[in-house]
Structure 1
């Protein structure tokens, strides 16, 4: 069953989404992920199972939607006065959050939930938006800066690869090295 694209709904739809998302998060804490079922989530959220099936399709798509919402940043990255400091701080926080067991679970859920890649694209857009903020600040300060795609390719992509497939060396120095090499060239110390 194909679900409708998730947009930020208003009114009753927003209340239903929030109740269902809250129910998923609470139940994962209380009973564990392996015990989650659509009827259990529906009961906790105060909706019918058919509401969940109609809106999300199945449990995996619901978990994916909750994951994508969790991965959306709440605030813009803080300004640290210089692009290199902004990117280092952001990359350090990104690698710390995404490489945690919870972060990895959310990444896997986000990737598994929607077969056409919409959720992966939403997660990528979140990172791109954060990077755009930092690059715009750099431009306002008169700093030379790479474009968004270059930052995604040279900083975010290697971190995501390691988070998903090679979870060793997921440290702040690794994130800092990626930023340094982005801005100064490969092999710089």
Structure 2
């Protein structure tokens, strides 16, 4: 007995089997796409949560003044500068803008004549608070930086004064915070 299969029958059979496999792959791919789409929808779900944050205003720290000194001796008609160092412990820059007498600490002025009228200038005998001229205003960097402030012609001794005048000046400064 011999079995004879024609080429056309084999080809037809092969096409039919390929179609069935192809359908299986399409069905499997469609199923996989459905699973992935479901997973993708799950991954895109929105979730929420609550939280609270608060901040309080920074409590500024005092500037530290050191090495305060006049630029030279007082003499009739002479003007002297005041120079001092300022350390800024704050986390922001500060511009030194005003200077004045320290409250409750008047300047100690001694002249042989016993009169303080012989001293003048922005912080001379009057010792009033004043705005430092713009050219002398100094910016001190933040976080412990130190800078030098010089106030030109801070004190002048009158031409009418005689020897022996002296000035001790307890002072305070005021600065303005600057953006970092």
Higher percent of residues as strand:
2
Tell me if both proteins adopt one fold, taking TM over 0.5 as the criterion: no
Higher relative CO (CA 8 A, sep ≥ 6), structure 1 or 2?
2
TM bin, normalised by shorter chain, reads under 0.3
Output the TM-score relative to the length of structure 2. Answer: 0.27
Q: Which one has a bigger Cα radius of gyration?
A: 2
Output the TM-score relative to the length of structure 1. Answer: 0.26
